[in-house]
Amino acid sequence: MSGKNHTVLGMMSGSSLDGIDLALCKFKYNTKWSYEWIQTEVHRFSNEWVQKLKSLPTAGAEELVRQDILFGQYLGQVASAFLSKHNLKADYIASHGHTIFHRPEEGFTFQLGNGQVIAQYSGIQTISNFRAKDISFGGQGAPLVPIGDLLLFPEMECCLNLGGIANISIKQGNQITGFDICPANQLLNYLSQQLGFEYDNNGATARKGRMIPSLYEALNAQTYYQKPFPKSLSNEEVQSEFIPLMDQFRESNEDKLFTVIRHLAHQISRVVRKEAHQKVLVTGGGAHNDFLIEMLQEESPVTWIIPDNRLIDFKESLIFAFMGVLRVEGLNNCLASVTGARQDSSGGDIFFP
């Protein structure tokens, strides 16, 4: 394994529903793992796909199976077009897919995008379905990025991802734990889209708002925050518990955005203060939200490290590509210390064209 190069296309579709993040990366092991960016790009979803993905959690079994195949075709075509456009090649594809269900307490999870179909339509070996094996061992199947935080970013004490859901990796020596903290961009984007914006650019709209104390208290009282570790927050829980709660309030969306930002900053800082680490790497779309970062700094005086835009926007795709490398090499890519599973495992199904 030492010195061998792996060129992998990582594909990630997150709960923010903004599109498919593609990251072609090269990985090498020489006493430790290193990575190199080759090309990155965001493929935006059409409105048709956005509406389809939103509706699938309530679709019937036949429609779910059909869309699993169609989304696999779509991902394979997107991957092939991306590589052709840039005249590049990948040894294999590592696809997260799009989460439709995540119910580890019931023993299942489902990420849309059939791996065999991706392999057929791209002509490239594909690894997908990364979460299921960990869940079969009694784990949460989430978060998965801590393995990348541990091996690719060893110098960072804490790694915070501000995606549709905010999750964190926390290091203690050579050990790492991690969990979902709270919703993030799912709530902010929901409120912004009611105002006619895809998202709140730099938090400018939230900055104009004022606190709604009763909403702030209701958000902080959500049952998820009382759950013990290990834990993960599903998109379904965000949609069924957090969104309806915000809808109960009559105040302006500017005030709701302000209040949600303060809520996120409070929940995230509460975790960071408890761990007593001094440096936190911040990535994911929320790292572009200046107002949220300011509120984090106000709540907790640690060093919040905001890296370059490529790492902010494509870190998850990079890590899923890396998880594909570990799976192909037969190395553990899912950690029991994070998910609460009975054992570490090497998750992901491998498909050949």
DSSP result, 226-258: GSPSS----HHHIIIIIHHHHHT--S-HHHHHH
Q: 27 - beta bridge partners?
A: 6, 35
Mean pLDDT value of segment 115-137: 98
Mean pLDDT value of segment 156-185: 93
136-146 burial string, b = 16+ CB within 10 Å, else e?
ebebbbbbbbb
Q: 37-88, pLDDT tens digit by residue? A: 999 999 999 999 999 999 999 999 999 999 999 999 999 999 999 999 999 9
Alpha-carbon radius of gyration of the chain: 19
Those residues whose C-beta lies under 8 Å from the C-beta of residue 65, and which sit 6 or more positions away, are: none
Q: 233-266, pLDDT tens digit by residue? A: 999 999 999 999 999 999 999 999 999 999 999 9
Question: What pTM was computed for the model?
Answer: 0.95
* 8 A C-beta contact, residue 159 and residue 169: yes
Query: Residue 2 — pLDDT band, cuts 50, 70, 90?
Result: low
In this prediction, residue 257 carries a pLDDT of: 98
Domains of the chain are 5-139+347-351 (3.30.420.40), 147-310 (3.30.420.40)
Rounded to 10 deg, the angle between the 253-275 and 290-299 helix axes is 40
Q: 108 - beta bridge partners?
A: 103
CA distance 108 to 349: 15
Average pLDDT, the chain: 96
Query: Residue 1 — pLDDT band, cuts 50, 70, 90?
Result: low
**Cβ-based neighbour number of residue 154 at 10 Å:** 11
